[in-house]
Structure 1
Amino acid sequence: MTTNKTPVTVVGLGLMGQALAGTFLRNGHPTTVWNRTAAKADALVAEGARLADSPADAVTASPLVIVCVSNYDAVRELLDPLGEVFDGRVLVNLTSGTSEGARQTAEWAARRGGSYLDGAIMALPTAIGTAEATVFYSGPQSAFAQHESTLRLLGAGTTYLGTDHGLSSLYDVALLGVMWSVLNGFLQGAALVGTAGVDASTFASIAGPLTGTVRDWLPDLGRQIDKGDYTTRDSTIDTHLGAMEHLVQESESLGINADLPRLVKALADRAVADGHGGSDYAAMIEQFRRPAGNRP
């Protein structure tokens, strides 16, 4: 492949790694790949990728090295024996983990002479390279700016969060919490209406627009939290608590698991006990800020 586009190396060829490498190839970047199981590179090699002989060969092949493996320990185990081959290169770690793991890996990379960006992918492999994909990056802004045009190929939602290497992983887990809350709330509701013979698809057509309405509340909720202003806008926590009790009772009476609504109600009970019964729902943030069992 003859091109003046930045050569890229992708280490780790699970479904996500293959999607990353495939996107670079389709956009004309010379792409080197490596994986413990070499056969996973066959389709990419057929499209024009070069299969490296070793991790060292893979890293030295490109100024931009992207790693996407199982966890941060696997990153260090794989690359630690290579020594200081990262000098002058930008290492982008798109492996899932925690913010502390990201910061530790950044320190590890710094000792090996490379610039390090930590990243988090908020998309399925099939969405990589499309408008549906969001990829977060954190670390030195100079490293991001150096390869920004190449990294933006992975998703229209490419976002640089700041110099703290831990931010990408922190956003990742925080947003996964939002995702699971929405999914679990839908599943609870589908189980409830299912007792009346309503299928989940019908319920989804009703619940979907509601999630959009709730989404639109978030900017104002964020402003209230940032200001510490819990003045009631429309409904107090006491009012919410009454409705939560109805959800618990309805679930129990219909033989539906009530663990999730009980947990939500327990948090609201604590907020009321802390004197926030007449506050806006934004005051619930104080319950999430407090570690479990740490009561005043």
Structure 2
Amino acid sequence: MAQNTVEKTSVTLLGLGAMGTALARTWLAAGHPLTVWNRTPARAATLAAEGARAADSAAEAVAAHTLVVVCLLDDESAGEVLADVDLAGKDLVNLTTSTPAQARARAAWARERGARYLDGGIMAVPPMIGVPQAGGYVFYSGSRELFERHEKTLGVPVGTTYVGEDPGFAALHDVALLSAMYGMFAGAAHAFALVRKEDIDPAALAPLLADWLVAMAPAVHGTADQLRSGDYTKNVVSSLAMQVAGTPTFLSTAEQQGVSPELLTPYFQLMRRRMAESGGEEDLTGVIDLLVR
């Protein structure tokens, strides 16, 4: 047997949706022996034609290899699929989207069944899998030893970022970043709505909008520095008072353009609340404290 074949870790993969299929094909292309299972057998059959071994049941698939990767719809699906499966001695890597609490509970559940556990949060879409330059990666949390043992194999389809021993941290990082993404999408939606009825080509606005968002993104480092120091007046460029004073212009423009302000008003309300409580010399960082219950 060739040396490069000996060094390839065998992988079991449960779940062959768009993401699971992309992961499977990347491991196969890299020469990793792969056993797959899916509730819809046709998807497994397609990968079998490409070199994977298709198991008839989840239990059979799990029994095949030590490293078991789960990529199912949700935490409930993972629990159902693995309910009657012998996990003793297995290295269970769960890439199923979940909440931090679900991830912690699933880690305890796995340990009770004799498995080692690692949770993952995928920061990528299927077309990014197997394409290093696309910038995708997976957050991992749980056993550091387990992560280090399989880091090379897990890094074949997409990059890896370990965020801590707490099994819930991968899911927490995942949702935190995606929440920021949706906030960005909300702002972009409002921007496009403002010009929607005007003789302005959205394709002309798009690069201006993208460049502006990129230019503003580094502000998060200043926010993090203020949170760590507790000094929200540190290195302030535009004070809260100045920014609150400018909000009527945004609301009036929206009204004049026939655009609902509902994507902006919640944040503006928080800004005004924070200024009423702390004065206007600090930055926007104090809004975060209003959100934490």
TM-score class, shorter-chain normalisation, is over 0.9
Runs of at least 5 residues in structure 2 that lack an aligned partner in the other structure = none
Q: CA deviation at 1:30?
A: 0.2
| Per-residue Cα deviation, 1:210-261 (whole angstroms, up to 9, x for no partner) | 1111112221221111111111521111111122221122112211111011
TM-score (norm 1): 0.93
1:144-293 alignment runs, 5 A limit: 144-156=147-159, 158-231=160-233, 233-289=236-292, 291=293
Partner of 1:294: none
TM-score (norm 2): 0.94
Distance 2:65 2:279 in 1: 56
Identity %: 40
Q: Please tell me the residue identity of whatever aligns with 2:94.
A: N
| Per-residue Cα deviation, 1:64-107 (whole angstroms, up to 9, x for no partner) | 1000111111111110111xx22222100000010000000001
Q: CA deviation at 1:60?
A: 0.9
Partner of 1:121: 122
The answer to whether the aligner puts 1:17 opposite 2:20 as a matched pair is yes
Q: CA deviation at 1:46?
A: 1.4
The answer to whether the aligner puts 1:103 opposite 2:104 as a matched pair is yes
Q: CA deviation at 1:287?
A: 1.8
Q: Please tell me the residue identity of whatever aligns with 1:45.
A: A
Partner of 2:131: 130
Q: Please tell me the residue identity of whatever aligns with 1:104.
A: A
Distance 2:37 2:232 in 1: 53
**Count of residues in Structure 1 that have an aligned counterpart in Structure 2:** 287
Question: Quick check: 1:190–1:199 contact (8 Å CA) kept in 2?
Answer: no
Q: CA deviation at 1:42?
A: 2.8
One of 33, 52, 57 as aligned partner of 1:54: 57
Distance 1:276 1:172 in 2: 33
Distance 2:188 2:145 in 1: 42
Q: CA deviation at 1:14?
A: 0.5
One of 69, 73, 78 as aligned partner of 1:66: 69
Question: Quick check: 2:271–2:284 contact (8 Å CA) kept in 1?
Answer: no
Runs of at least 5 residues in structure 1 that lack an aligned partner in the other structure = 292-296
Q: Please tell me the residue identity of whatever aligns with 2:40.
A: T
Q: Please tell me the residue identity of whatever aligns with 1:38.
A: P
Distance 1:167 1:150 in 2: 21
Q: CA deviation at 1:113?
A: 0.3
Distance 1:197 1:284 in 2: 36
Distance 2:130 2:140 in 1: 16
Secondary structure, in 3 states, of the residue corresponding to 1:195?
coil
Distance 2:290 2:208 in 1: 30
Q: CA deviation at 1:63?
A: 1.2
Question: Quick check: 1:6–1:63 contact (8 Å CA) kept in 2?
Answer: no
Question: Quick check: 1:13–1:34 contact (8 Å CA) kept in 2?
Answer: yes
Secondary structure, in 3 states, of the residue corresponding to 1:137?
strand
Distance 1:192 1:247 in 2: 10
Shifted more, 279-288 versus 168-177: the winner is 279-288
Secondary structure, in 3 states, of the residue corresponding to 1:162?
coil
